[in-house]
Chains A and B, each alone.
Chain A
Amino acid sequence: MRPPAVALVILLACSLPAFCQDDHYCHKDLFNAVKAFDPNSQDIQTQSLTKFLSFHDYPACMVELIASSPQYQREMQNTPATVLNTLTQLGSSEGAGGTTNLVSKGLTPNLLSAAAGYGALSETTSNQTTTVSGSIGGLPVALLNHGVWTECTADLLAVTTCVNHKTISALNRFSYGVSFDTSQNSQTLTGTTSTQSKSTTQPVTFTANTHQVNQIVAKAVLWQGHPVSAKDFIDHVNKDLNAGGEPKTETLNAALPKAQNAFRNAKKAFGEWQNQNQQSLETWRKLAELYLVKQYADSKAAGKEPDEESVAASWKQLGCSLVNLMGGPQTQCPVLGTITPAAKFDDLFKQSNALANAYAKAIAANYDYSDSLRASPIITFEYDDNRPVSQPSNSVFRLVLGKSINDWTFTANGAASIYNSAPSTSIPGADRLRDFQLASQVDYKLSKFKVIGSGTSATLAYYYQDQTSPSIVNVNPSNPATGINFIGLPANAKQVFAKKGVINIAQAKFTIGTSQSGFSLPIAVSWSNRTELLTKSAWRGQVGLNYNFDSLFSGKSNPGQ
């Protein structure tokens, strides 16, 4: 049963029809097999319907048949639903005051990431910043990975909420990030007397500097890259899954063989039962074939062209007799009601649920794998709402281009920044347009040096900012800007501004991490010809600690760089 709120979300997500085409794999193969069936042929090789009704070849579809039986439906009514169950960026973008990222990347982790960073880049004062980021599709992905929801095309049980992989793919194009300024561990209060009284007791109006959120980021992937070509797909399988037959467990794609192996293990008991009950299953299967073909022919004779839906409806009538055959709860079945039970299959419904969930996860892992092979470049639009301490807030509009070639990743940014409100006209040269930015970065995965962590990488980056307006600092003599001391500032001054110019920054970064843990530790050193306020060159250090929660919820991770 789908709760109304969940159904509403899916309905909204499905408002674009292309995202919710529910092709059902089993029904498509069944329809083709029934259409091609030749009752006079003894050639097993050409009889796909015979294979379709076998646990060895179509275990998932046989379990769907079991799940469509009245016995299963009755049992599940009394069972809680729970029983059924390299282009990423961690951390804030440049401008947050405490980050190791000079260049923005196009994607964020699926579910959630947390990153703590210290050390400014273009800013004059350094802050400690904690960033939380994730993709809109993160929650459905987590629910899929835990079997609470299933991939619609692999939804065998029809008792769980299903979501189409195309919907998730579309949701994952949108991501968010919020950076918190954790340098300010206490709120600063300013008390202003509200009367001119000389009394020893004074009424005071308090105002608080509650600055905590210093950056909000929204990203939308404009161009996801081409789906992988057939040739490239085969090349990637050879490379990623290791032609030697041993899984490369430290690659991002270890989740795929893990899910495939789980499905393979889940189906073993069904294959063994089939081997031990060959004759009984053979009898049932021949009758089932005849029933399906007769229904198909009758429908045609009645002038109603059979389709996938009508053939699937006839097929589902056979679920009752299959459950009887396998020793499940015995019921009088309307179709093939005279089948004699074979050896009892222990925990039939429980094992069917396990197989159905394993199948859905294996298919979802396959989609994840093929999506990860999309040909770059990826083009992303990013909007940053920067709220720097003691400075006017500004908005950055950024285009991000990312391309990966083997162990190399290239990223380029182009951006423009505007003040969120027009600066004072008394500031010479000040305009709404704050600056233009260009940046590029190259990362190299040091995956061969496993001794220092399989997710370790080296990065070189360059950043250019042309300040078309001076940097402005809000001042309040009774509550000075953090990290800035003023000498000789008039008591009525509200803003000060610096000399505008061009900022050039070069950065070298080393990120230590492992693919499996989700943790990464970026350490960087940067040189700049000036900062926003200071016109002298400076060497800076930046350090961070990132955690990608995807590794917890999906068994894979992708440490940021």
Chain B
Amino acid sequence: MPGQANACLLKTSPLENSYTASPGLLTLVVVSTVGAVAFDPAATEVTDQNGKGPPDWKCSATRMTFTLVKGNTYHLDISFVFANPDKDTGVIKESCPAPQLNDTITSPAFTPDYTIMVS
């Protein structure tokens, strides 16, 4: 959304993949490091605590954006596809100067899930 502040994540729990964030526009990107790794938008689910999708959710092969609304908790269940599952790897990260969400994606780790509390 034009003029909307970018949201950045702060990790709260290593085991739960949990983050906190301020309201704003969250952008996640996947960068291929070997071969080609892409979001699978058709198998990716982003819901709030009521099971609803966030406003303005858009997802392409390499970029996902949606608005974090204050007071909501979002659950991200993300799937990826590989040009060659044998050897392709990628990195999912938030578009922030010092991204705290910055995970490697490989074939056995292609459906990470994250929880984001917005306050």
Q: Hey, which bits of chain A sit against chain B, CB under 8 A?
A: 23, 25-26, 29, 44-45, 48, 50-51, 54, 56-61, 153-154, 227-231, 233-235, 237-238, 241-248, 256-257, 260-261, 263-264, 267, 271, 274-275, 278, 281-282, 362-363, 366-367, 369-370, 373
Contacts and interface: CB of A to CB of B under 8 A. Distances in A.
Interface string B45-63: 1000000000001111110
A256 B43 contact: yes
Nearest to A231: B36
Contacts of B14: 44, 50
A257 B113 contact: no
A45 B14 CA distance: 9
The 6 closest A-B pairs by CB, nearest first: A247-B42, A260-B43, A257-B42, A230-B36, A237-B61, A44-B14
Main secondary structure on A side of the interface with B: helix
A448 B33 CA distance: 36
Given A238-B61, A264-B111, A370-B83, A282 B40 contact: no
A238 B15 contact: no
A362 B109 CA distance: 12
Given A45-B11, A264-B111, 7 more contacts: A56-B16, A56-B113, A231-B36, A242-B42, A245-B58, A256-B40, A257-B79
A373 B83 CA distance: 9
Given A243-B58, A260-B111, A274 B15 contact: yes
Contacts of A260: 40, 42-43, 79, 81, 111
27 contacts: A29-B106, A29-B108, A51-B109, A56-B16, A57-B103, A227-B84, A228-B36, A229-B36, A230-B36, A237-B38, A237-B39, A237-B81, A241-B42, A243-B41, A243-B58, A243-B59, A245-B44, A245-B59, A246-B42, A260-B111, A263-B111, A274-B16, A278-B16, A362-B110, A366-B107, A367-B85, A369-B81
Contacts of A29: 106, 108-109
Contact of B13 (A244, A261, A278, A362): A278
B119 interface: no
A237 B39 CA distance: 8
Nearest to B57: A245
B82 interface: yes
A267 B16 contact: no
Contact of A230 (B35, B79, B106): B35
Nearest to B35: A230
B62 A234 contact: yes
Given A51-B103, A278-B15, A363-B85, A56 B112 contact: yes
A214 to B, nearest CB: 42
Interface residues of B, number: 43
A44 B57 CA distance: 29
Contacts of A50: 14
Interface of B: 11, 13-17, 32, 35-36, 38-45, 57-62, 77, 79, 81-86, 100, 102-104, 106-113
A247 B43 CA distance: 8
The interface centre, meaning the residue of B11, B13, B107 with most chain A CB atoms within 10 A of its CB, is: B107
Contacts of A241: 40-42, 61, 81
Contact of A267 (B43, B45, B81, B111): B111
Contact of A234 (B38, B84, B109): B38
A60 B106 CA distance: 12
Contacts of A363: 85, 107
B115 to A, nearest CB: 9
Contacts of B112: 56-57
A58 B108 contact: yes
Contacts of B111: 59, 260, 263-264, 267
Contacts of A235: 61
A375 to B, nearest CB: 12
A370 B84 CA distance: 7
A278 B32 CA distance: 31
A23 B108 CA distance: 12
A399 to B, nearest CB: 29
Contact of A275 (B16, B45, B57, B79): B16
Contacts of A243: 41, 58-61
Contact of A45 (B58, B100, B106, B107): B100
Contacts of B11: 44-45
A493 B39 CA distance: 72
A269 to B, nearest CB: 12
A430 B97 CA distance: 81
B42 A366 contact: no
A281 B61 contact: no
Contacts of A274: 15-16
A231 B81 CA distance: 14
Contact of B43 (A59, A230, A264, A367): A264
A462 to B, nearest CB: 37
Contacts of B60: 238, 243
A324 B14 CA distance: 23
B36 to A, nearest CB: 4
B43 A60 contact: no
Nearest to B101: A45
